[in-house]
Structure 1
Amino acid sequence: MTALKHLRDQLAKGNTVLIDGGTGTEIEAQGGAMVEGAWCGAASLTHSAIVQSVHEQYLQLGAKVIIANNYATSRHVLAQAGWEDQFEELNRAGIELAVAARTAVGADDAVVAGSLSTTTQGGEQPPVEELLTNLTEGAQIQADAGAELLILEMMGSIGLTEIALTAAGRAGLPVWLGWSCEERNGVPWLHYGGETLDDAMRWAREAPVELMAIMHTQTSESGACLEVIKRHWDGPIGVYAHTGIWEPPHWIFENTISPEAYAAAARGWITNGAQVVGGCCGIGPAHIAELAKTLTTL
């Protein structure tokens, strides 16, 4: 049985699946340099040993999905940071390091996921056709390099999500869709501010994805977002929240949630229907270790 089939079977049975924690923030925490305009996008070449080690740590803690370091490797993002010539190499390397980590640990039942985002890292959003081309190229390179799943990360508007879905669909891999949200007056809004999560889920309820997730959202606000997804979606749901402060190109580990408090929050998400749990920015191996312990008690 392939790792992907095993993952799908676990979700179909209603079981809970642990995924990794933040990758980019943990690369920096363990000594990797961030790049102005591309955040962690170049680290798969500049700090490959650290990138692979981060993946290995999460796998050793029991993560069954690891997300490659490809969140900030779109062509336009790398171009503004002076790394466009390494676009293909970086997208391949991100996947190859995750695969190498899985092999090193012997975690044959873990799935390597590619990451696709519409982030600009502070730059201008490209025109629609250019963005679609860039994301399509990135998705295909990741698929060819060995990704078994594509996760659309930090989706923050309906229009940009539609472009990312189209690009991901062309790669022929299963897709998970991750919304990034914030609460205003008790209402979850998409990250870019123009639409509510309720609006987005009405639009996305028939989207060709296998899982809907809340990700890169404050831990304290993720539960309300989960409730919105449940109203519109009867498939598997995931939650992987963040903690800390973003000061480009660095993640500041201030006012962060403790591993114990994060695990307690995740227990609530699981009780309320989340099947996939892990962490995003600022959530590191200590949090995932505590979360893994929590899962053994459910």
Structure 2
Amino acid sequence: MPRASGPLAEALSRRTVLLDGRLSNQLAAQGCDLSGGLWTGRALAERPDQVEAAHAAYVRAGAEVLITASYQIGRDAALLRRSVEAAARAAEAADHEVWVDASVGPYGAVLADGSEYRGRYGLSVRELADFHRPRVEALLAAGPDVLVLETVPDPDETEALLGVLADTGAPAWLSHTVAGGRTRSGAPLPGAFALAAASPQVIAVGVNCCDPAEVLPALEAAAGVTSKPLVAYPNDGSVREPATATWHPPRTGPRWPVAAWRRTGARLIGGCCRIGPARIADLAAECAGLDI
């Protein structure tokens, strides 16, 4: 079956759509070396066949959206294009409809120092827009279905990304990374969500790469300012120590209140760091039951 034939926004108006999990889990399981600043982008540069295989593992688990391996790539247009191509090949080989969504990671992700979980980089909105514009243009030239403006820690970066998006006319969804009921930079969530909600090109808003316990309060804040579909793809609750690249065990249990997320408006549901194909397969079954 070819890639999804209809717009993702249309599907979200009718049902829950299942996202994949983070590629790093599966690539590591496949023996890829993810050390260095590029993270999954290193596999894309050195072993693109393994990136395609990782995408395919999520397709077999039931994922309907594949997020490209471009999160931590700066302005390397060839690698950005390759990220879309690898996901597209896996989508085209699927036995169900699959959308290819191109990841535009935050400025801090390219720094590879954990600053995407702090924000407030000391750059102006214009400087952030100038950084993101060539990345967005390169990804769009490769023909993804939708852009993913993900793990955004700060309303200033949201504003910059939305400004670039407006110049392109492309559809996108945007997700903040949150902690303690605020964005990672400490901004109130309603105002941050309202920025994205006001963009006619943004088809969904929500949260990612956060503790699962943070999801429901954040979705409730989003639902208070928009009727657009919401997005939820947390990590497993572990805490990463950037200096040592190690993880502390999760504080929350393995069960997620997915039904409550959906009642609040979540229609794009999946996993982020340390969530692999097995967990996505479990979510596939759970989300299918919610749409009955």
Answer whether TM exceeds 0.5 for this pair.
yes
- The change in CA–CA distance for 1:246 and 1:16 in structure 2 (over 3 A counts) is same
On the 8 A contact 2:25/2:273 being kept in 1, the answer is: yes
Task: Give the distance between the partners of 2:114 and 2:274, measured in 1 at CA.
Answer: 23
Shift of 1:181: 0.4
Task: Give the distance between the partners of 1:3 and 1:250, measured in 2 at CA.
Answer: 40
Whether 1:236 and 2:225 are equivalent positions in the alignment is no
- The change in CA–CA distance for 1:166 and 1:40 in structure 2 (over 3 A counts) is same
Q: Which residue of 1 aligns with 2:104?
A: 116
On the 8 A contact 2:193/2:205 being kept in 1, the answer is: no
CA root-mean-square deviation = 2.5
Shift of 1:156: 1.0
Whether 1:144 and 2:132 are equivalent positions in the alignment is no
- The change in CA–CA distance for 1:230 and 1:27 in structure 2 (over 3 A counts) is same
Q: Which amino acid aligns with 2:94?
A: V
Higher alpha-carbon deviation: 278-287 or 24-33: 24-33
Deviations 1:71-95 (A, max 9, x none): 11123xxxxxxxxxxx111111111
Q: Which residue of 2 aligns with 1:84?
A: none
Structure 1: tracts of 5 or more residues without a match: 76-86
On the 8 A contact 1:99/1:146 being kept in 2, the answer is: no
Q: Residue 297 of structure 1 aligns to a residue in which SS?
A: helix
Task: Give the distance between the partners of 2:127 and 2:217, measured in 1 at CA.
Answer: 35
Q: Which residue of 1 aligns with 2:118?
A: none
Q: Which amino acid aligns with 1:246?
A: R
Q: Residue 63 of structure 2 aligns to a residue in which SS?
A: coil
Task: Give the distance between the partners of 1:91 and 1:248, measured in 2 at CA.
Answer: 24
- The change in CA–CA distance for 1:95 and 1:127 in structure 2 (over 3 A counts) is same
- The change in CA–CA distance for 1:134 and 1:25 in structure 2 (over 3 A counts) is farther
Higher alpha-carbon deviation: 24-33 or 142-151: 24-33
Q: Which residue of 2 aligns with 1:98?
A: 87
Q: Residue 139 of structure 2 aligns to a residue in which SS?
A: helix
Shift of 1:39: 2.6
- The change in CA–CA distance for 1:37 and 1:126 in structure 2 (over 3 A counts) is farther
Q: How does 1:167-182 map to 2 (within 5 A)?
A: 167-182=164-179
Q: Residue 41 of structure 2 aligns to a residue in which SS?
A: coil
Q: Which amino acid aligns with 1:284?
A: G
Q: TM-score, normalised by structure 2?
A: 0.86
Shift of 1:130: 4.6
Residue identity (%): 27
On the 8 A contact 1:35/1:41 being kept in 2, the answer is: no
Q: TM-score, normalised by structure 1?
A: 0.84
Q: Which residue of 1 aligns with 2:8?
A: 7
Q: Which residue of 1 aligns with 2:270?
A: 278
Task: Give the distance between the partners of 1:153 and 1:225, measured in 2 at CA.
Answer: 15
On the 8 A contact 1:39/1:248 being kept in 2, the answer is: no
Q: Residue 36 of structure 2 aligns to a residue in which SS?
A: coil
On the 8 A contact 1:95/1:147 being kept in 2, the answer is: yes
Q: Which amino acid aligns with 2:104?
A: L
Whether 1:223 and 2:216 are equivalent positions in the alignment is yes
Q: Which residue of 2 aligns with 1:80?
A: none
Q: Residue 278 of structure 2 aligns to a residue in which SS?
A: helix
Shift of 1:123: 8.4
On the 8 A contact 2:44/2:69 being kept in 1, the answer is: yes
Whether 1:160 and 2:153 are equivalent positions in the alignment is no
**How many residues are paired up?**
278
On the 8 A contact 2:62/2:284 being kept in 1, the answer is: yes
Shift of 1:167: 2.2
Task: Give the distance between the partners of 1:174 and 1:250, measured in 2 at CA.
Answer: 37
Q: Which amino acid aligns with 2:233?
A: Y
On the 8 A contact 2:153/2:176 being kept in 1, the answer is: yes
Shift of 1:253: 5.5
- The change in CA–CA distance for 1:241 and 1:136 in structure 2 (over 3 A counts) is same
Higher alpha-carbon deviation: 242-251 or 174-183: 242-251
Q: Residue 42 of structure 1 aligns to a residue in which SS?
A: helix
Task: Give the distance between the partners of 1:110 and 1:204, measured in 2 at CA.
Answer: 24
Shift of 1:274: 1.1
Task: Give the distance between the partners of 2:191 and 2:182, measured in 1 at CA.
Answer: 9
Q: How does 1:17-32 map to 2 (within 5 A)?
A: 17-32=17-32
Q: Residue 114 of structure 1 aligns to a residue in which SS?
A: strand
Task: Give the distance between the partners of 1:132 and 1:6, measured in 2 at CA.
Answer: 26
